[in-house]
Structure 1
Amino acid sequence: MGRRWGIVVMAVALLSASCASSQASRAPTVAPTAGSSTPSQAPVTAPAVPDVADAPVVVLPPPDFTSTISEITPELAARMEPSWRPGCPVPLEDLRYVTVTHRDFAGEKVQGELVVHADAAEDMVTVFRALFDAGYPVRSMRLVDDFGASDDASMDADNTSAFNCRAITGGTGWSEHAYGRAIDVNPVENPYVSGSSVGPSAGREFVRRPDSPGVIHGGDEVVGAFAAVGWLWGGDWDSPVDYQHFSPSGR
């Protein structure tokens, strides 16, 4: 009996140890007290979510070249009274107001303006985008009305302009400018030459100076940009020679 009793006592002891171990594994983790050498378990936190309101605002620079094409408004028609009048060969509704970015002679970006025929508006945007990308400078690009529709005054100011209801130079028929299908570019650097006559007079010193900014030469980026939209250069005429002039008809 003594042997059996000893076996029973040993079995009870093993069972008690097993139960204690099981209870310990299910017991909650208790944070250690101060001075305890038991390592503490770091709390688990969710990753921080950035606040959209605190995100930096990225401001994109405006595009280098911009353009607009619009119809002639009543306000613009009033401004154009010097250059358009009843009896002109093209009605106002067939004209378009065009703005394009160009570079001036200091390399700064400037917004210029033109009035051209509706069927030439897209071509002018295409041309001046190419000239802007090429870095070609334009001295001034304002409506000829700012000069009282005087072609001479506009040229003297080295102003690039298009529509002007006027007769052809030295003649009585309508100029291509009267249809909005011609443009004069940098007139001082690219004057009209007829024999010994040069217009504007300030253009005399620029006649075919290859090293001067703004001077147009055959085969250069200006002639090429206009040729790409089907416009011809007056610099190719025999006599007179109109270095500033471009038109789709070649007149």
Structure 2
Amino acid sequence: MRLYRLLLLYLLTLIPFSVLHAQEGFTAESIPDSIWQKMQGKTYVANPYIQRSDLRYLRVLHWDYDNQPHQGELICNRLIASKLLSIFRELYKAHYPIQRIRLADDYDADDERQMRANNSSCFCYRTVSGTQKLSYHARGLAIDINPLYNPYIRYDKRGRQIVEPATGKPYADRSKSYRYKIEKGDLCYRLFLKHGFSWGGSWRTKKDYQHFEYHPQ
């Protein structure tokens, strides 16, 4: 029996990553040529920090309030590919509602557009809104979930509130209840923190309720 188990473990190490995770609509693979071409000039531009080999193309299943399974796709850093597959499997098993998971390239990498569409996505080579600093999205190490209902909230030098997307302003009041809302302690929050992510909803000077990011050690 011990020899059988050792042989099984050895055989598992020979299975490619993408095949090992190809289970019921959940897959991870190197960026296909067709997807890579689609990304050019949109979510991907030539840069010294992130290359094609650093990224992975994921397909995941998710539920929405129509009680139907939907196939989603996203690009992420290879460092978090298996983590995201595990998280999305658990969210799917629990019927956790996510409205859509499409490539940001479908929205021409326009963050405001895809947030207004409540699209959940990960990789996009861009800066943090209102700054010149590269976002963790630029490395594929951050993901936004149901962004319309979990907006990014900051304040300008005059103390005026800025909500992104602009149509997410009704959801800036986190004391209210509504669909797709991410709250501290809910399943989405717990799963991402379990896998080593931090939550933008816990930031002090600004809030990014849609945002989970991973900091490699």
Amino acid paired to 2:171 = F
Residue matched to 1:204: 169
Q: Which of the residues 177, 200, 208 maps onto 1:234?
A: 200
CA deviation after TM superposition for structure 1 residue 249, in Å: 2.7
Instruction: Give the equivalent residue in structure 2 for 1:188.
Output: 148
Letter in 2 for 1:111: Q
Alignment of 1:16-165 (within 5 A): 65-81=24-40, 82-87=42-47, 89-165=49-125
Q: Cα RMSD over matched residues?
A: 1.8
| TM-score where L is the length of structure 1 | 0.71
Identity %: 34
**Aligned residue pairs, count:** 188
CA–CA distance in 1 between the matches of 2:124 and 2:64?
23
Instruction: Please report how far the alpha carbon of residue 169 of structure 1 lies from its aligned counterpart in structure 2 after TM superposition.
Output: 1.5
Alpha-carbon separation, structure 2, partners of 1:177 and 1:156:
18
Deviations 1:54-84 (A, max 9, x none): xxxxxxxxxx952010101221110111111
Q: Which runs of 4+ in 1 moved over 6 A?
A: none
* Residue matched to 1:169: 129
Q: Distance in 2 between matches of 1:88 and 1:106?
A: 43
Which AA in structure 1 matches 2:110?
A: S
Residue ranges of structure 1 left out of the alignment (5+ in a row): 1-63
Change (3 A) 1:79 1:247: same
Query: Structure 2 stretches of 5 or more lacking a match?
Result: 1-22, 156-160
Partner deviation per Cα, 1:163-211 (whole Å, 9 max, x = no partner): 0001112111211001000001101110001132111122121232553
CA distance in 2 between counterparts of 1:210 and 1:112 reads 28
Could you tell me whether the CA contact under 8 Å between 1:65 and 1:129 is conserved in 2? Answer: no
| Partner residue, 1:245 | 211
Give the superposition deviation at 1:248: 1.3
Look up the match of 2:3.
none
**SS state of the match for residue 65, structure 2?**
coil
One-letter amino acid of the structure 2 residue matched with residue 214 of structure 1: Y
| 3-state SS, counterpart of residue 213 of structure 1 | coil
* Letter in structure 2 aligned against 1:190: N
